[in-house]
Structure 1
Amino acid sequence: MTSNDPAQQTSLDPAAEAAAPGSAPAQDAAAAPSPETRLAELEAKHAEVADAYLRSKAEIENTRRRADEEIAKARKFAVEGFAEALLPVKDSLEAALAIQNATTQQMLEGVHATLRQLGQALERNKVIEIAPPAGTKFDPHQHQAISVVPAEQEANTVVAVLQKGYLIADRVLRPALVTVSAPK
């Protein structure tokens, strides 16, 4: 039961008892927003966060879509530079075939020039020859031994290259076919 007499009212809150009588509750009531105001603030904050979330989600989807398009383009046109480098080689071969009465010497010079063009095109596209000199230690990652032959050199070394190999970006495209010296 409550009484209107301030002397009979007791406070259950120790902080309220410590404050000056009548001053603290009035300040709390003035400082505390009404539930409707608080609800409106929270709804506005929710709308702001929801909008930011939707914008972020849309940006992520756009980034993913652009990345997928870039990957598709990269796959589609990956050999474009390489093909462009090989076109002069093709042109040279076609020009050689167009000559009706070429001498053997002219054809040989043309083949050498075309081979140089091809070598330059491969080099520009990071295709590197594997042609180990005799005496090089056999490397199973870059060489394929076709035969083992007795030789006057250290065992497990390259004696001869039967077919050059090729690397592209440090990956073996084709190993060099080699003969290897037999253990003594």
Structure 2
Amino acid sequence: MATEQNEQAQDLGQEQADQQTAQTQAETEQIAVSVEDLQTQIKNLEESLKLEKARTANAVYEAQKSVERIQRDAEKHKETVIEKFAKELLDSVDNLERAIQAAGDTESALLEGVQLTLKSLLHTLEKFGVVEVDMHNGFNADLHQAVGIAPDAKAGEIGTVLQKGYTLSNRLLRPAMVLVGQ
């Protein structure tokens, strides 16, 4: 009976060993499958990461370009507004110069006030880049508009200035209207 119990114990031990071996093999296969699955997942995640990095870089680039475009548009708008405002102020400059010419040679406090106002307005315009067009170096079609012929002026020279011209930041704001010699 002891031998029989011994054999049963050995058979039981053998069955347990076989079960453990089978279980170990199943776990090993599961681990192998799991490692392969994990490697596949890692590759997929790395590809997704590369794609997202590319999208992020593209979005950053587009944002920078948008900011630059908005800044350029804002600068152009600012220049346009300043140009319109300066053109409107030139009418006041012309009117003040006409008032001074109409006063003639008579000195008065009113005339002095108009002269100081004109001087202050011209100084303010100069601060913002509005400068009078040069009239001393002869006729220049880019800066002057010939509206007639001055009989007493030499050919290519400016005879009479009917209206002063101005530039804004080296761009023509208003051409000078002049009479030119033949």
TM-score by shorter chain over 0.5: yes
Q: How much has 1:152 moved relative to structure 2? A: 5.6
After TM superposition, give the deviation of residue 60 of structure 1 in Å: 3.5
TM score, norm. by length of structure 2: 0.55
**CA distance in 2 between partners of 1:139 and 1:76 (Å):** 29
Contact 2:160 2:180 in 1 (8 A): yes
Structure 1 residues 181, 108: closer, same or farther in 2, change over 3 A?
same
Does 2:120 match 1:111? no
Over 3 Å counting, the alpha-carbon distance change for 1:38 and 1:74 in structure 2 is same
The 3 A distance-change label for structure 1 pair 69 and 45 is same
Post-superposition shift, 1:151?
Answer: 2.7
Q: Which residue of 1 aligns with 2:152?
A: 151
Confirm or deny that 1:48 pairs with 2:34.
no
Would the aligned equivalents of 1:131 and 1:161 in 2 still touch at CA under 8 Å? Answer: no
- Give the count of matched residue pairs: 128
Alpha carbons 2:153, 2:159 under 8 Å: kept? no
Q: Aligned in 2, Cα 1:165/1:64: closer, same or farther, shift over 3 Å?
A: same
Match of 1:180 in 2: 180
Letter in 2 for 1:52: K
1:160 corresponds to: 160
Deviations 1:31-70 (A, max 9, x none): xxx9756634431321221221232233245435544654
Matches of 1:141 and 1:39, distance apart in 2: 72
Distance 2:78 2:115 in 1: 30
- 1:7-18 residue pairs with structure 2 within 5 A? none
**1:109-157, CA deviations, whole angstroms, 9 ceiling, x for partnerless residues?**
2111111111111101111101503xx321111111111133363x121
The answer for unaligned runs of 5 or more in structure 2 is: 1-34, 93-106
Residues 143-181 of structure 1 deviation map (CA, whole Å, 9 limit, x = unaligned) = 11111133363x121112111001112221111111111
Structure 1, unmatched stretches of 5+, are: 1-33, 90-103
Please give the alpha-carbon distance, in whole angstroms, between the structure 2 residues aligned to 1:112 and 1:170: 26
Please report the RMSD computed on the Cα atoms of aligned residues, expressed in angstroms: 3.4
Deviations 1:91-126 (A, max 9, x none): xxxxxxxxxxxxx82221211111111111110111
TM-score (normalizing by structure 1): 0.55
* Percent identity (aligned): 27
